[in-house]
Amino acid sequence: MSVKVISRIENWEQFVERCKAVVTEEEAVGLLYSGMDVPYTGKYGATSEERLTRVNFYLGGLKNPNEKIAATCGQLIIKRCLKALKGCMVGYDKGCLETTNQILQFLQKPGEELLKPPYPRFVAEYLLPLHEEWRHGTHSDYQRGKGYQALQGSTELIVRALCAWGMGYILARDGLRPEVIPVIKEFLDERGYETGKVFFKISGDGEPPANLSGIPGAEEINFTAACAFLKLMFWVGGGFKAQFIRTIPPRHLAE
């Protein structure tokens, strides 16, 4: 029996041509996975342009009418493409900023299959550093940095993506970006979530504690009473204001 010679896809252009020629779903899905390993042409690794070309190819695949192909593109964007974008210079490369915004748009409403492990971890590894640059910049000049300035136009996309992937907590870390408040409220309204539910969960039920000794016991006493106070003030006490002390100042204020 003769042995069939199996060739390899040598470059991205060849990969695209192969994708155009496929006629079955199975072929298409297999090619999409192999596309992630097509060699780059740059002498010192992938250029920014090459990385963006590949990411944009998979973003385009999200619109494929075949659900399996579209879903595969979504999975590969999260597992592989987000990593390729980590070194993307949004403040210096217009194409990088445009692709970043498209990625953020894609992350707004993830499909149920993407909310299961390992996908949330990959998204967190991408979004949290991006959030840091948006919040106060990552360069020595912070808010004068081009990355920071470029991302201010993406505020709503970043905030909504963080909320959609369960990382809304970080938006309340230091209270320095109050403009996110209406964005979070809009996100919750769209999901039909009544914000007052939070207060009704923090107090009103429980059991008498068995041990209130030492510093942990004192903290539990104080925390329980504070929760009751906040709930009652929210519910029947006319609202409340509180003074918070930042125990860990934002990085650009600490340095």
Q: Say if residue 175's pLDDT is above 90.
A: no
Residue with tokens 């692709």: 99
CA-to-CA separations, 123 to 106, 166, 173, in angstroms, rounded: 11, 10, 19
What pLDDT shows up at residue 255? 45
CA atoms of 32 and 76, how far apart (whole Å): 8
* Chain mean position to CA 240: 32
| 37-74 per-position pLDDT tens digit | 999 887 677 888 899 999 999 999 999 999 999 999 99
What pLDDT shows up at residue 123? 97
Q: Say if residue 211's pLDDT is above 90.
A: yes
What pLDDT shows up at residue 251? 53
CA atoms of 66 and 70, how far apart (whole Å): 6
pLDDT band at 143 (very low <50, low <70, confident <90, very high): low
Q: Say if residue 145's pLDDT is above 90.
A: no
Type of residue at 21: A
What pLDDT shows up at residue 173? 85
CA-to-CA separations, 26 to 4, 100, 110, 124, 144, in angstroms, rounded: 21, 29, 23, 30, 49
Instruction: Please check whether residue 66 is in contact with residue 99, taking contact to mean a CB–CB distance below 8 angstroms.
Output: no
Tokens of 240: 């409340």
Tokens of 72: 């595969």
Give φ, ψ of 112 to 5 degrees. -55, -35
pLDDT band at 254 (very low <50, low <70, confident <90, very high): very low
Query: Of the candidates 76, 161, 85, 84, which has an alpha carbon nearest to the alpha carbon of residue 119?
Result: 76
Query: Of the candidates 134, 65, 71, 139, which has an alpha carbon nearest to the alpha carbon of residue 101?
Result: 134
What pLDDT shows up at residue 241? 79
Q: Of all residues in the chain, what percent carry a pLDDT higher than 90?
A: 63
Query: Of the candidates 93, 92, 85, which has an alpha carbon nearest to the alpha carbon of residue 55?
Result: 85
Q: Say if residue 139's pLDDT is above 50.
A: yes
Read off the pTM. 0.85
What pLDDT shows up at residue 200? 81
Query: Of the candidates 147, 148, 173, which has an alpha carbon nearest to the alpha carbon of residue 162?
Result: 173
CA atoms of 90 and 221, how far apart (whole Å): 48
Mean pLDDT, range 168-178, rounded to an integer: 88
Dmax (CA) for the chain in angstroms is: 86
Q: Give the mean pLDDT of the chain.
A: 89
Q: Say if residue 85's pLDDT is above 80.
A: yes
